[in-house]
Structure 1
Amino acid sequence: MHSSSAAGPGIGGHRAVEGWGVLERATELARSGEAFVLATVVWREGPTSGQQGSRAVYTASGEIYGWIGGACAEPVFIREAIATLEAGTPRLLALGASDRFGDLPQGTTAVPMSCQSEGALQIYLEPVVAVPHLVIVGSSPMATTLSVLAAQLDWRVELVDRAEFSEGLLTPQSMVVVATQGHGDEDVLAAAFKADPAYVGLVSSARRGRSVRALLEAQGVESAQLDALRAPAGLDLGSTSHKEVAVSILAELVQLRAQGTFAAPVTAPASTTGTAVDPVCGMTVQIDAGTASLEVGDEVFYFCCAGCRTAFAREQGVA
């Protein structure tokens, strides 16, 4: 597998982090609520730039921290990391020439590769799903009960009053429940919609919900956001007490999360513009500014490394 040094910030989606720094970054990502995959090289057979114990993180936003291998291994790692995030289940990869695999553990995904270095790796990919982020606005007994119940699920919960709330508390994956009991409901909701969170719910009667929607529409809030507003928030359980209302809201949030409503989209690194197949070794290559390429006639070919480009140019009789 072609060897190269770890890329610096912004190159190929990489961030220059190594050793224990990868695990520290993984901890930071988990606390911030961003989904990612932690990759660890659990076995290697040289020559290969990936070492046993090498680690890397691939985030749902397409950033890479750390290092698990060179130009041949990286596009496979990115492709399989995206699949791992989407599936939400761990997997073990075996990368290398098929005659180097030997007896693989059951359930291992084998990825034959034809890199010139002829090395081999086994990489364990572990998805870390983002912890749900719930912001509750209000100071009623129901709001307090909901915060306690959600915390029991190990969710990241913030209970704030109306004066403390701003859209800066939210991300597109956040859930916000407005329980201000008619005191500035519209202002809180208008601010929340600016962050375009995954869920916005208002604790209200159905009649009050219709009135709030009309006021927000008059203020210019987009109709798609108003259509997504849950007012009243929660499943219709025929609830009457504040504790039952809290349970109905939490039940709705758990149901929507199980359906994948709050899952963050998974993307390829921002610096890439797609993939291509190396015509020499058959590897899938991520295309970015640093990818080796060669134009032959009207067609552009991309390569995993300079060696494959040289071999192809010689075969085609071009410089």
Structure 2
Amino acid sequence: MPELSTMHSPDGWDFLAHAGELARRGEAFALATVVWRQGPSSGKQGCRAIITAEGELRGWIGGACAEPTVIREAQQALVEGTPRLLLLGSPEQFGAAVPEGMTVVPISCQSEGALEVYIEPVRPVPHLVVVGRSPMAHTLVELAGSLGWHAQLVGHTELDVVIERSFVVVATQGHHDEESVERALAARPAYVGLVGSRRRGASVLGYLADRGVAADELDRVQVPAGLDLGSVSHREIAVAILAELVRIRAARGVPPGPACAAEPDSATTVDPVCGMTVAVDDPVAFEGREYSFCCASCRVAFLRDPGAYAKKESRC
């Protein structure tokens, strides 16, 4: 039976609670799992870690060589929204046996061990806030829920649930329309739509303009909300609104939260000692070039004979 580990983390299973907290806040993260190892390696099968878009790691997947690589690949997976399977070790360890679709990343510092790490991006589901209590509002929430969206039905005084990645649909049907739209705009959500006729929308936006709401803010309000299907039933109106939201999300994307806005740091270089791709950090200057290292041992080895390693890199 393969060796499994459930507690290879300084925090035990606490990192899962951290994942739950990130999800509640609407922040994206990646889950990294060690699915295979070849000793010696500090990472064990079953080790897991959570990595945020800023590069914060919670949990355990391996030592100084594996960790920066996993963090970098996790950040890229979050940007692209696709999972990936990494083989961390010397390419010679795998030869032609590497399955298609896997990525081999060299990590040869002080070890002949190897790891296989699966990285899965976890991006928060769309957040829909429907303001109002009409049959259409209830139908819209039910439809969005069937897509796996986080959909909430709230009153005009309950808009504190709105966050930057939210879709907000105001369907109060003449009851507190102006107040609802103004409160929604104050939260700077990804979308604000008002259910109603163009004439009613013009009246609401005109009132808010007179109250001092900025024109660029009012321009963000979609009136009427949803695809224009003409005179249809309340169920069809709900479908038209949801279709518009799906189209918007697919066309331009909706910010999944503050964490996912970050791009992975593109400032990387190759460690001249082990050949590993590393972040540019505390570089050593030699003959007009700067060199960064994955760990202290590679740095010390370079400083002992920088000319040899610099020459080796120049031939690559």
For normalisation by structure 2, the TM-score amounts to 0.82
Query: 2:192: which partner in 1?
Result: 200
Residue of structure 2 aligned with 1:255, choices 241, 247, 272 = 247
Is 1:123 the counterpart of 2:127? The answer is no
Say whether the 8 Å CA contact 1:19–1:55 is kept in structure 2. Answer: no
Report the Cα distance in structure 2 between the residues aligned to 1:151 and 1:56, rounded to whole angstroms: 29
Displacement of 1:78: 2.1
Matches within 5 A, 1:55-134: 55-60=48-53, 62-102=55-95, 103-134=97-128
Displacement of 1:98: 0.6
Partner AA of 1:306 in structure 2: A
Partner AA of 2:294 in structure 1: C
Query: 2:302: which partner in 1?
Result: 312
Displacement of 1:248: 0.9
Partner AA of 1:65 in structure 2: R
Partner AA of 1:90 in structure 2: P
Matches within 5 A, 1:1-319: 18-60=11-53, 62-102=55-95, 103-166=97-160, 169-264=161-256, 265-267=260-262, 274-286=267-279, 293-295=283-285, 301-316=291-306
Percent identity reads 56
Pair 1:208–1:62, CA change in 2 (3 A): farther
Say whether the 8 Å CA contact 1:62–1:268 is kept in structure 2. Answer: no
1:40-93 alpha-carbon deviations (Å, 9 max, x no partner): 001112232222211111234543221212222222212221232233332211
Pair 1:248–1:81, CA change in 2 (3 A): same
Query: 1:10: which partner in 2?
Result: none
Q: List runs of 5+ in structure 1 lacking aligned partners.
A: 1-15
Report the Cα distance in structure 2 between the residues aligned to 1:142 and 1:66, rounded to whole angstroms: 45
Report the Cα distance in structure 2 between the residues aligned to 1:275 and 1:156, rounded to whole angstroms: 37
Say whether the 8 Å CA contact 2:30–2:52 is kept in structure 1. Answer: yes
Say whether the 8 Å CA contact 2:106–2:275 is kept in structure 1. Answer: no
Work out the number of aligned pairs and report it: 295
Displacement of 1:249: 0.7
Q: Supply the RMSD in Å over aligned alpha carbons.
A: 2.7
Report the Cα distance in structure 2 between the residues aligned to 1:134 and 1:162, rounded to whole angstroms: 15
Pair 1:94–1:18, CA change in 2 (3 A): farther
Partner AA of 1:78 in structure 2: I
Displacement of 1:213: 3.0
Q: List runs of 5+ in structure 2 lacking aligned partners.
A: 1-8, 308-316
Displacement of 1:223: 4.2
For normalisation by structure 1, the TM-score amounts to 0.81
Report the Cα distance in structure 2 between the residues aligned to 1:222 and 1:81, rounded to whole angstroms: 40
